């Protein structure tokens, strides 16, 4: 049986944008976790810029776009997302509006 708490897809870095498409900053590692029981999409964000970390921790059911910078070039557009501290990393969970590229949730 698979552990739902382990990341399913380690990814390269990503740039984050708010609902008005303002650049929030860069993180060097983003991992997509296995789908949660509630159907929310969950991302773990590591090694983020300090300003990005503050912005993500303040998310409370806010619009968010995550644009990956790897070869697959996928992105997630969250209708709403919330962020919270998960040890040294930040966990984001929310409801997707759309997935761009090869990034299935």
Stated pTM of the model: 0.82
Q: How far is CA 32 from the centre of its chain?
A: 7
When divided into structural domains, the chain yields a total of: 1
Q: List the pLDDT tens digit at each of the 105 positions of the chain.
A: 344 455 556 667 999 999 999 999 999 999 888 877 788 999 999 988 999 999 999 999 999 999 988 766 678 999 999 999 999 999 999 999 988 775 554
Closest to 76 in 3D by CA, of 48, 44, 41 = 41
User: What is the model's pLDDT at position 2?
Assistant: 42
**Does 49 fall in a domain?**
yes
**Does 2 fall in a domain?**
no
**Does 26 fall in a domain?**
yes
Rounded to 5°, angle at Cα 83 from 77 and 89:
110
**Does 38 fall in a domain?**
yes
Reading the block at residue 16, the tokens are 């984050």
Q: What's 16's domain CATH number?
A: 2.40.10
- What does residue 57 show for φ and ψ, rounded to 5 degrees? -70, -20
């Amino acid at each position: 049986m698979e552990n739902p708490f382990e990341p399913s897809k380690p990814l390269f870095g990503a740039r984050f944008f708010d609902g008005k498409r303002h650049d929030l900053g860069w993180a060097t590692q983003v991992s997509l976790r296995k789908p949660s029981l509630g159907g929310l999409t969950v991302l773990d964000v590591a090694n983020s810029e300090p300003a990005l970390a503050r912005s993500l921790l303040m998310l409370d059911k806010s619009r968010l776009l995550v644009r990956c910078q790897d070869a697959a070039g996928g992105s997630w557009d969250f209708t709403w997302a919330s962020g919270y501290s998960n040890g040294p990393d930040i966990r984001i969970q929310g409801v997707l509006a759309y997935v761009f590229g090869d990034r299935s949730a």
